[in-house]
Amino acid sequence: MYSMVEQIRRKRDGLELDTDAIRWIIREYTADEIPDYQLSSLLMAIVFNGMTTDELAAWTDAMLHSGDVLDLSSVDKAKVDKHSTGGVGDKISIPLAPIVAACGVAVPMMSGRGLGHTGGTLDKLESIPGFTTQIDPSAFDRQLTDIGVVMVGQTERLVPADRRIYALRDATGTVPSVPLISSSIMSKKLAEDLDGLLLDVKVGSGAFMKTEADARTLAQTMSDLGAAHGTPVTAFLTDMSQPLGATVGNANEIRESIDVLRGNGPQDVTELTIAFARAMLVLAGHDGERAASDVDAAISSGAALTTMERLIEAQGGDPGVIEDPSRLPSTGQHRVIEADRSGFIARCDAYDIGVAGVRLGAGRAKKEDDVDPAVGFTVHVDVGAPVDAGQPLLTVEYRDDERLESALSVLKGAIEITDEPVPARTLIIDTI
Amino acid sequence: MYSMVEQIRRKRDGLELDTDAIRWIIREYTADEIPDYQLSSLLMAIVFNGMTTDELAAWTDAMLHSGDVLDLSSVDKAKVDKHSTGGVGDKISIPLAPIVAACGVAVPMMSGRGLGHTGGTLDKLESIPGFTTQIDPSAFDRQLTDIGVVMVGQTERLVPADRRIYALRDATGTVPSVPLISSSIMSKKLAEDLDGLLLDVKVGSGAFMKTEADARTLAQTMSDLGAAHGTPVTAFLTDMSQPLGATVGNANEIRESIDVLRGNGPQDVTELTIAFARAMLVLAGHDGERAASDVDAAISSGAALTTMERLIEAQGGDPGVIEDPSRLPSTGQHRVIEADRSGFIARCDAYDIGVAGVRLGAGRAKKEDDVDPAVGFTVHVDVGAPVDAGQPLLTVEYRDDERLESALSVLKGAIEITDEPVPARTLIIDTI
């Protein structure tokens, strides 16, 4: 039996908490035996004093075992998932999962919803008419065996400690902490019974990690947690200073994902999707060179697109959207923003565009909010591109005038044009 | 309207909170509009990042106005109180208040109870049969006018924010913070409508501040808060490495206090009482030299003892204890601890003796515990004194054998004897 106030004092004073004490804290908090006000005080002390490697491993393991852990042993394939720390226009998971599945690796993907200025895979998928992201456990295994991919939300019973701790962190200013972020992500991913995990750690204005150094620390910390648990991890550091691809929103990101699966997506989304697909095959034990040709073949043969179609159908969605993307929701109302001068795109700010998306209704200001599947942006320019005055920069698809005006007021400062040429960004910063 | 999570983030990130935001936080927390888990997170951020002078003044002022503020304008005398940060054997307030009152300065003293290893003035006073430390407001003013002194606990309506915040700090590891300690003490004292305040900041093993540097910072911070509020403060730094006086407990500290008022108390208690009484008269505007002779006269004439007698009678206690201290509770069971060797007293540890006192029943392990008025110690030696093997070091007055054994196990290491002579402590370290 431990005293919670004693554990808080230890962390406050920079002493290490022992493994049993950490297990006790997570167990008792999840069982409502430790009050929120004690945990929040401990969390703030962790924000300041961090965690040692042993503490973090114990904390993550205790979270992971706070509820059910998946058993996918009935699925006779290697299982690999991917997690992104979140960004603007980041639809990579959607074309990625069917490509990897088409190459014979199972992808039991559990994703999240948009919060803050970032979008969420579940919200995007739900813009497909009929698509459900909640399926029951037996259907999960069967679909994973048959199609090789499921794309769902987390069940309530997986890592319940994380749901509670995350909600508390959100309300108590204790979100930005590498050990707390790492344990939140990794406890959920390690509960999925994976053979490998690809992490996409985003860096830049539209990411939660604003600097490369912070992103690198987070990526390394999560890789170490995976290794300690026996689950190989490949972590990419990728740019999130400007939105990924040409679309930000929900339905329009599904349209773009279908383009990628057809082999005609925007260059940046295609590049990341292919790099990640290859890395996931390698994590599953495939040979690197064969992985590259398998990924290319899955796209060029249409196998990946067919897998996407089967996935949509299996999860109750309208597979007709593949052939006819106009079946996806649309408001039919657009506003084009044009360049007010000639020059070069110096900044196309992911954060500002993400915030504008929330104001438009594509994301959530609060957890309880509904998202509007149809609204969003098409971004016509990349950083470094030359533009002429009057050339379209952004097309806004909107539903209501008030929200449009609110979004436009943020967009005003989002795109900057200068006289001097500007180098294009580096999309993949590093691989760990 | 403010967002609490935004204020927590600001403090976490080392930014200053503005005065209105601090007022809002204290007001909304006291009104149950801000949950404990958010305040505890902010408190931990304050433990790490501190408060600026402006923040601390605003925080203290907001606490001070969270409930009633005394109006003692009907009492036609200067009003001065004294506060000690707490120690072992610290009964100074009990002889001090009647001496100052006998010199014509009103002492509206509001004290606390023992917690942790320290004793509390209220517990000591309540060992006088019948004595009550709760009196109603009209009786308070009348007694202050008639006798010049009241010694009571805080009313529920004075600084309610402090009661709530203190309880939360106690449970969340956020007690040791100079700004939080300062604002807690000063908000209560400044709510008493004083013309001056004497602070006794204790330093050493038996004090909350273990080092002189920490104690000095606390003393200076509280003096500055008093000055900012227009209430003159004199702060003493005094030694708490060994217990004050020859007694630790409740009834036995009342006996010692009566000895001081008769002019035959232990040297250290007498020295501090007289120094503090003089300083309080000076705070009330008296001339320093006259203050010294007035204090001496109040004791030698018996006026201070008579004031103590009237105080006890006014608050329902048995005034017969003054002439016959055997009317105070006693268990009649004693155990003497003798020196196991000859030498010099190198250490007579205030903290250990305080903890032993709690185990004996003289103090509280938890807020809800009752104290035993009769049990305690007589300390026969001071640091620096020569002792012979077999000479009595401590006499323990105990009620039950189990508690005695538990106390003895702590006392074993409390007194250290060495071969080399040891200098006596410096009682008054500094005055600020």
List per-block mean pLDDT (blocks of 10 residues) for chain A, which spans 432 residues: 92 97 97 96 98 97 94 94 96 98 97 83 97 92 96 90 92 93 95 96 94 96 95 98 97 98 97 98 96 98 98 98 97 96 96 95 83 96 96 97 96 94 94 94
Q: Which CATH number fits domain B4-50: 3.30.70.2860, 1.20.1050.10, 3.40.50.620, 1.20.970.10?
A: 1.20.970.10
Euclidean distance between CA atoms B335 and B337, whole angstroms: 7
Instruction: Using an 8 Å CB-CB cutoff, list chain A residues near B48.
Output: 44-45, 48
Instruction: Give the pLDDT confidence score for residue A1 in this predicted structure.
Output: 77
Are B40 and A40 a contacting pair at CB < 8 A? yes
CA distance linking residue B306 with residue B322, whole number of Å: 9
B146 a catalytic residue: no
Residues of A catalogued as catalytic: 83, 162, 169, 184, 188
- Between the two ends of chain B, the Cα-to-Cα distance in Å is 40
Share above pLDDT 90 across residues of chain B, in percent, rounded to a whole number: 91
Q: Which residue of B has its CA nearest to A14?
A: B48
Which element (helix H / strand E) includes B143? helix B137-146
Per-residue pLDDT for B267 more than 80? yes
- pLDDT tens for B273-311 read 999 999 999 999 999 999 999 999 999 999 999 999 999
Strand partners of residue A202: A238
Nearest to B387 by CA among B418, B409, B413: B418
pLDDT (tens digit per residue) in B1-41: 789 999 999 999 999 999 999 999 999 999 999 999 999 99
CA distance B246 to B267: 9
Query: Which amino acid, one-letter code, is at B134?
Result: Q
pLDDT-derived band at B263 (thresholds 50, 70, 90) equals very high
pLDDT at position A400 is 94
Q: Which of residues 20-59 of A touch B (CB under 8 A)?
A: 35-45, 47-48
pTM, two decimals, is 0.88
- The β-bridge partners of A82 are A198
- Is a pLDDT exceeding 90 seen at residue B115? no
Is residue B236 predicted with pLDDT exceeding 80?
A: yes
Interface test with A, best of B8, B44, B46, B366 (most A CBs within 10 A): B44
pLDDT at A212: 96
Decide if pLDDT at B365 tops 80.
no
In the CATH scheme, what architecture does the domain A80-325 have? 3-Layer(aba) Sandwich (3.40)
Mean pLDDT of B153-164: 89
Question: Per DSSP, what are the bridge partners of residue B428?
Answer: B238
| Domain residue extents for chain A | 4-50, 80-325, 329-418
- Is residue B393 within 8 Å of B423, Cβ to Cβ? no
Distance CA A178, CA A59 (A): 13
- pLDDT, residue B378, reads 97
Pull the structure tokens for residue B421. Answer: 């002579």
Residue B130 sits at the chain A interface (C-beta within 8 Å): no
Are B171 and B130 in contact, with CB atoms under 8 Å apart?
no
What is the sign, positive or negative, of the torsion defined by CA atoms of B328, B329, B334, B339?
A: negative
pLDDT at B1: 77
Looking at residues B123-129, what average pLDDT do you find? Answer: 97
Confidence of residue B389 (pLDDT cuts 50, 70, 90): very high
Give the C-alpha separation, A168 to A164, whole Å: 6
Write the residue in B41, B48, B173 that is nearest to A173 by C-beta: B41
Pick the CATH number of A329-418 from 3.60.20.10, 1.10.540.10, 3.90.1170.30, 3.40.50.2300: 3.90.1170.30
